[in-house]
Amino acid sequence: MKIISYNVNGVRAAVNKGFVDWLKNTNPDVICLQEIKALKEQLDVTIFENAGYKYHYWFSAQKKGYSGVAILSKTKPKHVEYGTGIETMDFEGRNLRVDFDEISIMSMYLPSGTNNERLDFKFNYMDEIQDYLSLLTEQIPNLVVCGDYNICHDEIDIHNPKMKNVSGFLPEERSWLGAFIQSGFIDSYRYLHPTRQEFSWWSYRANSRANNKGWRLDYAMVSKTLQEKIKRSVILTEAVHSDHCPILVEIDK
């Protein structure tokens, strides 16, 4: 199964930049989207259906033009879970899960900590999602949690490791992500590429992408139960529909 995760920074904007043609050519079985910034009613979903994704699910934020996640799939899942049931995070549309017979896939958009108020919100979300996923993996052991985690884990994951006072690379955030992995997940990219430095997000400022001054914020975290089935994990840096680029993981069925 080929799974892609992509923070599109506005799905309508991405479509206008050629996202659908790219999707056809890349041809994943499932694609998880974050920061869709749209309601389903605002989209022409037939363009995704015509691209081969008959099954598509959208979980938008209550605030229009903000946050939101989606999953497009070629095959019908046996169950779709909208949100987590935790009110403090679900109003921003940050979690959506599809369950298949042998694997479940979540699209997750972890908040950024752009100011003190949002940093507190981020830390609260981190605590609550960790508890939620710890319970979930007891029921669903084969889980892939894809998405924008808004955290660089190690120094290799950021172009300037001296940025220790900036949200996304705070010691507390990095420690949480390490504990998240230790709770039963594998960072599929780092598992296969222990020393490679690649990024998945670049600021729009200061020509950051052209100068490759980026951050690796996007992850396909795979349950340890699937460790032997991780076939490939790559960052698709050539895709330019967003300030992020997509990541891909292939899991043997």
Active-site positions read 148
Residue 201 has, within 13 A of its CA and on its CB side, a CA count of 21
Paired residues of 71 in beta bridges: 32, 57
- Amino acid (1-letter code) at residue 242: S
* Residue labelled with tokens 């490759």: 212
DSSP string, 111-150: PP--SHHHHHHHHHHHHHHHHHHHHHHHH--SEEEEEE--
Residue 41 exposed, middle or buried by CB count within 10 Å (0-12, 13-18, 19+): exposed
Q: CA torsion sign, 236 to 19 to 114 to 87?
A: negative
